[in-house]
Chain A
């Protein structure tokens, strides 16, 4: 008994597979068809789908298309109440805000700052003393605490965007949590310390430009209904652009440069400033109807499940570029949705009956902040403890076939072995962690920028399919060059459409790796486990 259990564990860890499962993995992989991938991408990314905007007609059409495909395959509806659809309870809000030093001139909304209300209130105003809290990070595992014991209750905190690791790579290296750099974390942390308002200081280098941040916050913010309550005592929050922050801090007799330099040093403690600010904001609110689309292929032991996900939403119709206002999102993420559908079809047509159930999930509202996956986590279709693994497809490799392939996040869990075996079966090398593309993935924080992040924080092991580094016989870095070109010219632009060259054979090849891995994870004797040194673990 003991021996055989150990043997199974050994099998799972070293990645060998019994012959029968090898055969069914081969069958599933072969049944993933380029024709299906192309068909779904061409439909979902056609202008007729109007960019699949959240709460918009095109997004609704996409959800219904996906449901039709699930229904056609004879899968079970898994959205609740016998339907394919899980409602994502979204609330959209537009803000008008103001910010000024007490007795000083008002800052310019848009160019100097953007403000919002993190709670349910339709308006709020805070006047308070200002505390500079460095990067606003409390990371016990890294021995870092920007707050120390500084009392910020009822005060207005200013925190730098990003992490000290952005400027000094000896800090915050993986596997430390990487969401410390984001606005949401900093506002939440300020709330935990009792602050009444929190502003993040935008200071390049950062993931986004100031104008992108300002545009986003001047437009409608869409979040889960519950997402408007996590601000706790923080009544007003926002971003301040670097020059405006510099001017405010100068009024207190200090300087942003000096404070920022101090914030990089270990042992930094928050600095109360000789400055009072008045921050206020108003909100106009509406509900935004949208859904996740969920299907189940029942397993032989259906208590447990694995999940293959992809978000189907994109940016809808927006600001025209070169006369084109439809943000088709062909790669982002018609491609991943098509990959998920092609894998679902492969599971059905190959007739496999895995041990665990397989959930196929098309998430909505990803572009608005991973909201569909967050809604799923809030009301999961299987208890999260029984969800063995989540595999995510976001931006399939339709650029060119690479010799190597990578999976972000798999290396943190027992999925690593499954991924390596699946990649090898498809003739891929594993992309080296120090390769240009992996460095780029880390720099761009891809791991926290798609739906797997929602699952990671709930303790579910994940894997996210990434681009490889070498195209055909081209040298190292050619994969990154192709990705750079996409990121620079088409990412989140109307030109991410069907007019760019799309290599569906390459996409099919890479998706087959995840099809194999999904089946292996569904059939594995034990649930996927985080590695011991992973920063993420299942909740106790």
Chain B
């Protein structure tokens, strides 16, 4: 049995002492797409932001329990948080491009890491854009401002911007919430291809997307994990009443 890429045990996340994620136990395997569904306010986003320690920036945040990445506690005191965030790449709900050129957006993470070599930057940028299915659309437009791209292109740019850093886990927070079906399909296609090298954690409010674009699905409710299982099983034979109620639209 292979070690899971990420293993979460007894993890609780609080803001101002109020628990938003409660006593969570969950594992993410090396090459899988895990979807997280649940009504808003279930702690899905908070959970994602714990994986790359982005919540640390909020002074009211506190946590207990463990998150292990390849067996090592990511909240251990000697962890290089910047390095952790490079390796656990996050994509946000709204595509946020920095007010610079497409190229400058893409190489920003590498520059932060101190990589200056032009050839190396260009290589990584091309590889990442190809993985995000965006290369053909932007290869001749690198110097244009990133915000002239369409919403779907911008979101794929955001994915590529993260891929440039060669992360091993991708965490996506409702990446398609503002996009049209065609853009959504392109991103889902990219996720299928990315699975080969990355673990993917996809938070989504769109249960159909979870059904299409994941191998396993976890259902969160009010900060607790109700159940997790193979996507086909969750959507056809959920073990818990709350899960089937949610999937059938009885609440949430």
Physical interaction between A and B: no
B→A interface (CB under 8 Å): none
